Amino acid sequence: MKSIILPLALASSFLLTGCVVSVGGGSDSHYGTDVEDREYNNRKHISNLETGMSYESVLRKMGVADFNELYEKQDGTYRVLFYRTQRTMGDGITTKDECTPIVFKDSGLVGWGDSAYHLMN
What does the pLDDT look like over 46-82, one tens digit per residue?
A: 999 999 999 999 999 999 999 999 999 999 999 999 9
Per the CB < 8 A criterion, the answer to whether 64 and 85 are in contact is no
Give the domain ranges of the chain: 26-120
Phi, psi for 111 (deg, rounded to 5):
170, 175
Dihedral angle of Cα 13, 19, 24, 28, to the nearest 10 degrees:
120
Q: What is the model's pTM? A: 0.73
**Under CATH, which number does the domain 26-120 receive?**
3.30.1450.10
* Residue among 72, 37, 62 nearest 112 (CA): 62
Q: What is the distance between the alpha carbons of residues 69 and 117, in angstroms, rounded to a whole number?
A: 11
